Chain A
Amino acid sequence: MLNIDDLHVKLEDDDKDILKGVSLSVPAGKVHAIMGPNGSGKSTLSYVLSGRDGYEVTGGSATLAGEDLLEMEPEERAAAGLFLAFQYPVEIPGVGNMTFLRTAVNAQRKARGEEEMSATDFLKLIRAKAAELQIDADMLKRPVNTGFSGGEKKRNEILQMAVLEPRMCILDETDSGLDVDAMRLVADGVNALRSEGRAFLVITHYQRLLDHIVPDVVHIMADGRIVKTGGAELALEVENNGYADLLAEVA
């Protein structure tokens, strides 16, 4: 589903290299996790894949189901089925959450040449998904993420994912800021979406999330590279021993 090959990225207005040859591929139906020390480039990878300004790709490639992601506008990547749950969801005062979601759903449908969803169908869909994530009507009415608590913002990200039904989901530290119950809700939300045709890339610092969303593969990123790849047990190793041993071992 997602293929990243020797991706090099630097900041656009700075000569700082951040990704120094990242390669990984996530097949359809699989869940991969990325762990790694602060500042190793995990969020940068997620931003570059989703098309944020400010980065320059100096080498390598990234494709989604064979399509060159890096050539597309952010909204085209979304319509092609890519979704990023932000580490820091953005507050947009003045734009209602519902309006935002409906605009997004219909923009994607339009881009794919599908018919727009009617207001009633949309309402039904969002009510059902919101109920599963215990998001109340008030949160749907409020402006996007505005005044939401940290945990509410993260649940709102998962709600958007559930409504937009992407085939490639990237979750950047969706577990941070969640209490135990919210973590379970989010994990249930993700697990409900797991399917043959859908792949996940879960960025996290903690084993705890991976107890709920059990990954097929775990990658360790350090200083802009994937330095080690293994099974779910690799996450446990990180949890127990930290990164020092691991990094020393690959150095």
Chain B
Amino acid sequence: MAVPATRPALPTDPLPGGAKWLRTARDAAAGRLAAMGLPQPRDEYWKFTRPDSLTQADVPAAALFDPREAPVFGEVDRIRLVFVDGVFAPDQSDDPAGENLEIARLAEIAETDIHWAAGLFGRLEADGHSPVARPLAALNTARASDGVAIRATGPVAKPVSLIYLHKSETSDAILHHLVKVEDGASLTLLENGPAAARFNKCMEVELGDGAAFNHVRAQGRDHERRAVTHAFARLGQGASYKSFTLTANGRLTRNEQVITLAGAGATAHVAGAALGDGAFHQDDTVFVHHAAPDCESRQVFKKVLRNGATGVFQGKILVDSVAQRTDGYQIAQALLLDGDSQFLVKPELEIYADDVKCSHGSTSGGVDVDARFYLMSRGIPRAEAEDLLVLSFLAEAIAEIEDATLAAEIHSRLAAWLERHRSGRR
């Protein structure tokens, strides 16, 4: 199949209109983007993942997919906010109200001169281009027309749940969310769904001292969808950031997380489980910056790949000289269920403090045949035995989900995926 040498790139000029703070932020982001340029295959952090389908003007069509199962998190009591192909759907959403909770749409506050979100929009993204540029995040800031601004001023009882529906085969959605958890407040954010044929999502998360943020997402199971997501987080003293992502299916997924432990004693755990069968390319690019003493970070990424699926992990821990007594951990592992699949990794440690405990590791391999035989010798059929071993491989990542109900929900989705793919369905 002939591929044109260069396809026209998507527009990069800032969206017009809005209040002054928004125009300023969008213009600045467009300026950053112009200076760094769109990602190219030769870029250091795009060697393993081809950026072209994310940057071309034409959205590669993505067939709609009926997963024939109840949507994830269906049993969880939550505040649902629904987006259809990137457009907020108020009639399908709950009243966005709750104790200690403020929620506003970006599209609404865009015209407001004074809003807390003005101080956050584009700020963490702008700070997040070191050590490498993240042009698609700058693009997001310049061009996102909607998203939500969520502020927790105390403990928020119900999770806020962003639901992304995909109804058009050529939709191109850009959403920008802002999350602010004030000192001592806590919030759980859920995200699920394919969102669009092509989805660019950016989330900026600011955590005050002692704030706690739990994030669990299940990216949609549409086989042909493409997504690039960025989370930029800044943690105050003793704050806690815990994020888990399930990626099952999707033609192309690039999830970047940029986390700055700015206050002493902060904790950041980022984890993910990715399941790919066939035309699947999933990339976790994570940058954890220890900028204060006594912080702990954990990265746990597990990928199960078969039939030529590709998994990528690029993870860096940077420890500043002030960040004494840092406890950093990073593990990235792939279970390759056949010889066609591949796992590409680039783990990095850069440490300037002397009293630091940092470990990292990455492995890839097939199913443990001794363990499989042991299970089979007890009467468990081969396929079921393999599924048990796959789940056991994923267990360390699932264990990062703090809430037992949510962890059980994710576990059951993983088991169901394995069951379906075992019997040749998708």
Q: Which residues of A contact B (CB under 8 A)?
A: 50-53, 73-75, 77-79, 83-84, 86, 89-95, 99-101, 103-105, 107-108, 111, 143, 160, 164
* CB nearest neighbor in B for A109: B379
CB contact under 8 A between A100 and B373, given known A93-B395, A164-B378: no
B196 to chain A, nearest CB (A): 35
Cβ–Cβ contact A104 & B392, under 8 A:
no
Cβ–Cβ contact A94 & B391, under 8 A:
yes
Cβ–Cβ contact A75 & B381, under 8 A:
yes
* CB nearest neighbor in B for A161: B378
* CB nearest neighbor in A for B395: A94
A116 to chain B, nearest CB (A): 13
* CB nearest neighbor in B for A86: B374
CB pairs A–B below 8 angstroms (12 shown): A51-B377, A74-B373, A74-B377, A75-B378, A78-B379, A92-B388, A99-B388, A100-B375, A104-B380, A105-B379, A111-B379, A164-B378
For chain B, the bracket of interface size reads 20 to 34
0 or 1 for each of B367-392: is its CB under 8 Å from A? (1 = yes): 00111011111111110110011011
User: A residues within 8 A CB of B370?
Assistant: 90
Q: Kindly identify which residue among B369, B375, B384 contacts A53, using a CB–CB cutoff of 8 Å.
A: B369
User: B residues within 8 A CB of A83?
Assistant: 377
User: B residues within 8 A CB of A89?
Assistant: 374
Cβ–Cβ contact A75 & B389, under 8 A:
no
User: A residues within 8 A CB of B391?
Assistant: 94-95
Q: Which of B370, B379, B391 has the most CB of A within 10 A?
A: B379
Cα A91 to Cα B389 in complex, Å, equals: 11
Cβ–Cβ contact A107 & B380, under 8 A:
yes
CB contact under 8 A between A95 and B369, given known A75-B376, A103-B384, A104-B378: no
Cβ–Cβ contact A73 & B379, under 8 A:
no
Cβ–Cβ contact A51 & B374, under 8 A:
no
* CB nearest neighbor in A for B369: A53
User: A residues within 8 A CB of B183?
Assistant: none
Cβ–Cβ contact B392 & A103, under 8 A:
no
Q: Dominant SS at the B interface?
A: helix
| B393 adjacent to chain A (CB < 8 Å) | yes
CB contact under 8 A between A108 and B392, given known A53-B373, A90-B371: no
Cβ–Cβ contact B374 & A107, under 8 A:
no
B170 to chain A, nearest CB (A): 41
User: A residues within 8 A CB of B385?
Assistant: 75
Cα A95 to Cα B389 in complex, Å, equals: 7
Q: Which of A52, A75, A100 has the most CB of B within 10 A?
A: A75
Cα A106 to Cα B389 in complex, Å, equals: 18
0 or 1 for each of B46-82: is its CB under 8 Å from A? (1 = yes): 0000000000000000000000000000000000000
B148 to chain A, nearest CB (A): 36
Cβ–Cβ contact B378 & A160, under 8 A:
yes
User: A residues within 8 A CB of B388?
Assistant: 92, 95, 99-100, 103
| B396 adjacent to chain A (CB < 8 Å) | yes
CB contact under 8 A between A92 and B375, given known A53-B369, A143-B392: yes
A7 to chain B, nearest CB (A): 18
User: A residues within 8 A CB of B392?
Assistant: 92-95, 143
Cβ–Cβ contact A75 & B371, under 8 A:
no
Cβ–Cβ contact B369 & A75, under 8 A:
no
Q: Kindly identify which residue among A92, A93, A107 contacts B381, using a CB–CB cutoff of 8 Å.
A: A107
Cα A105 to Cα B391 in complex, Å, equals: 19
User: B residues within 8 A CB of A91?
Assistant: 371
Cβ–Cβ contact B376 & A73, under 8 A:
yes
Cα A86 to Cα B375 in complex, Å, equals: 12
CB contact under 8 A between A78 and B371, given known A92-B389, A92-B392: no
User: A residues within 8 A CB of B395?
Assistant: 93-94
User: A residues within 8 A CB of B369?
Assistant: 53
Cβ–Cβ contact A164 & B379, under 8 A:
yes
CB contact under 8 A between A84 and B379, given known A53-B369, A92-B371: no
User: B residues within 8 A CB of A51?
Assistant: 373, 376-377
Cα A113 to Cα B389 in complex, Å, equals: 25
Q: Kindly identify which residue among A53, A75, A77, A84 contacts B380, using a CB–CB cutoff of 8 Å.
A: A75
Cα A108 to Cα B382 in complex, Å, equals: 13
